[in-house]
Amino acid sequence: LPCLLFCESLKHFMMAVSWGGHESLILPKCAGMQASEFDPGIAEHRSVRMYVGLEDPQYLMQDLAQALAHL
């Protein structure tokens, strides 16, 4: 799945749910779904939830750019 590949390609965003910390996090919508429920035709199923923490914005933007290049 492209959204999962994108999330796994990130080096500085941890794939996790938010617990109120300061780290940048990302979680694909499909992470909480059964495989039988996933429909690639539904945009929401291909989306990701992102929490941007307190890291340097340039650092995070570079990480996002390299992950997008993997798609």
Share of the chain above pLDDT 90, in %: 73
Look up the CATH number of domain 2-69.
Answer: 3.90.1150.10
| Domain locations along the chain | 2-69
Distance CA 33, CA 36 (A): 8
pTM attached to this predicted model: 0.84
Identify the H or E element spanning 25.
Answer: strand 25-28
Task: Answer yes or no: is pLDDT of 2 > 90.
Answer: no
29-65 pLDDT, tens digit per residue, is 888 888 899 998 999 999 999 999 999 999 999 999 9
Q: How many helices (H) and strands (E) does the chain have?
A: 2, 3
Q: Which two tokens stand for residue 34?
A: 């059964």
